[in-house]
Every structure is written in structure tokens, then in C-alpha cells.
Amino acid sequence: MNFEEQIQKATNLIKHAKKVVVLTGAGISTPSGIPDFRSAGSGLWKKFNPMEVASIGAFHQNPNRFYEWVRPLVQKILDAKPNSAHIALAELESKGYIDAVITQNIDNLHQVAGSKNVLEVHGHIREINCAIDGSIPKCSKCGSGSLKPNVVLFGEMLPAQVMIEAEKAVDEADLILVAGSSLEVSPISEMPHRVVLHGKKIIVVNLQDTYIGSKADVVIQRNVVDVLPKIAEFMRR
């Protein structure tokens, strides 16, 4: 099946689905200049030990080191702009083809692009701006505690209410579109498997193989910025 045929098949699945949920990972934001965590050679965890800089224990033990690590990343996020893949998903949602976007990303780019129903299972950095100036924000109530950005660090639970909404969206969907996620981080990685168990449809758009690929209805191993805008274009026809 060539690229055009893959796009056409994906488009037909989306058009005939009653409820479509999109699951996005770092691969949708790397084209906007935001580094991911696990890519060979360039992933952030190739340069840093996550348990030393991005765990809740490390944060409590040495918040200075956490902020030294996170400031450059946050600056890249603040400088980033939504790419054509984010914009394509927002367009599909505005036209009623997508019901929800479940994202593992903390960068807010889906919302900036125009997506409305975004479930941020790993939190976000919208309350971190005050930490960019080189200081560590302190709690105004106790005066000594270090404030933590509203992101999920290693060792923390995912936000309960967001997870309830995400699981409900997946269970109610008859099609899930995985876009730019390697599906390696639990429990989000398990969501496509739940879809398969219920006999529903899956589209996977990711540069690398994923564990669910053999069970997916369409697998497109290309960059999301090449695929999602093309799907949006076919949907306009």
C-alpha cells in the first residue's frame, strides 16, 4: 500500500467513525523544536539521568538542580509554535471528526493550535513562567517550600481526574489515532491495547515501530507533519 492509499484508508476510517480519540506523544512536538526524551542520540534521557533531575524525590532533595535542568527545556517550549500536525488536528476537531486529544506532552501546543478538548495526562508548564528568571519560586503560605511546575515527575501519580476522562474517552471511542508516540510509557501505552480488546479500530502514525503496529488497521511510518495535514486535506475533499 503506497502513501496515498494509506492516507485514503485512514481518512475513510475517520469519516465512518462515530467517535475518534487521538493519542499524541513527543513525536508531534519535535518538529516544533522541542526535544523528546528517548530518541537514540538526541533524547534528553541520553544526556541526563531522569531519576536525578526529574523525579519527585530529586526535586525535594535538590530543587536547584531541577530548575537548572528544566529552564532550558521550558524556554524551548515557550519559544515553540504549533506545527502543521497540531493545526491539522485542531481543524479536524473543529469540523467534528475528532472528539478528544489525549496528550503525553506538556507544551500546550495543541491548545495554541486551536484544539479544545485536550487531556494532558502528564500535566503542563503553564504555571512555570515565574521560574524562568533564575530564581526558585517559593510557597507564599509557608515561605520556604519550593513550588513545583504542574508537570508529572517520576514517582508521582498521574492526575486522577484527567486519567478518568482519558480512559472514558478511549472506552467510548470506536477509533483511536496514535500520532507521534512510541507507546513506551505506562499506563498511557496500554490504551491502544484496550481498544484492540474491544474490537475497535486503530491508526498509528509514528516514525518508529510500536508494539501495537501488528494489530493496527493502518500504520504510517512517516513524520506526523507529513501525514496529519494530508489526512486533513483528504477530509476536505
- Same domain? 58 vs 68: yes
Average pLDDT, 10 consecutive residues per value, the chain (237 residues): 96 97 96 76 58 83 85 89 98 97 96 98 72 54 67 89 96 97 91 92 96 96 98 95
- Same structural domain, 22 and 43: no
From residue 179, alpha-carbon distances to 22, 104, 186, 193 in Å are 7, 11, 16, 15
* 165 & 193 share domain: yes
pLDDT for 107 equals: 94
Residues 93 and 118 in one domain: yes
Residues 109 and 43 in one domain: no
Q: Specify the CATH number for the domain of residue 99.
A: 3.40.50.1220
Owning domain of residue 202:
1-34+82-122+158-237
Do 92 and 206 belong to one domain?
yes
- Confirm if 114 and 155 have CB atoms less than 8 A apart: no
Hunting for cell 469540523 — which residue is that? 95
Question: Which three-class secondary structure state does DSSP give residue 161?
Answer: helix
Kindly list the distances between the CA atom of residue 205 and the CA atoms of 65, 171, 223, 227, in Å, as whole numbers in the listed order.
36, 20, 8, 7
The alpha carbon of residue 73 and the mean position of all alpha carbons in its chain are separated, in whole angstroms, by 16
Residue 129: predicted pLDDT: 39
Is this prediction's pTM over 0.85?
yes
- Whichever domain contains 47, its CATH number is 3.30.1600.10
Q: What is the pLDDT of residue 130?
A: 40
- pLDDT score recorded for residue 36: 79
**CA dihedral angle for residue 139, residue 72, residue 33, residue 105, rounded to 10 degrees:** -30
Do residue 75 and residue 184 come from a single domain?
no
Residue 191 has φ and ψ, to the nearest 5°, of -60, -45
Query: Which domain-ending residue is among 135, 155, 175?
Result: 155
Determine the pLDDT at residue 5: 96
Q: Is residue 55 located within the same domain as residue 45?
A: yes
Which of 140, 155, 170 corresponds to the end of one domain?
A: 155
40 and 68: one domain?
yes
3-state secondary structure 62-99: CHHHHHHHHHHHHHHHHHCCCCHHHHHHHHHHHCCCCC
pLDDT attached to residue 89: 98
In whole angstroms, give the CA distance from residue 198 to residue 100: 19
Instruction: State the catalytic residue, choosing from 122, 124, 193, 198.
Output: 122
Which one, of 180, 228, 181, 174, lies nearest residue 196 by Cα? 174
Q: Do 70 and 19 share a structural domain?
A: no
Judge whether 60 counts as a catalytic residue: no
Of 23, 215, 1, 20, whose CA–CA distance to 103 is shortest?
Answer: 23
Side-chain-side CA neighbours of 177 within 13 Å: the count stands at: 30
Cβ–Cβ < 8 Å for 173, 20: yes
Residues 111, 165 within the same domain = yes
Count up the domains in the chain and report the number. Answer: 2
Sign of CA pseudo-dihedral 25, 14, 232, 124: negative
Tell whether 64 and 149 lie within a shared domain. Answer: yes
CA geometry: angle 185, 80, 58, nearest 5 deg: 45
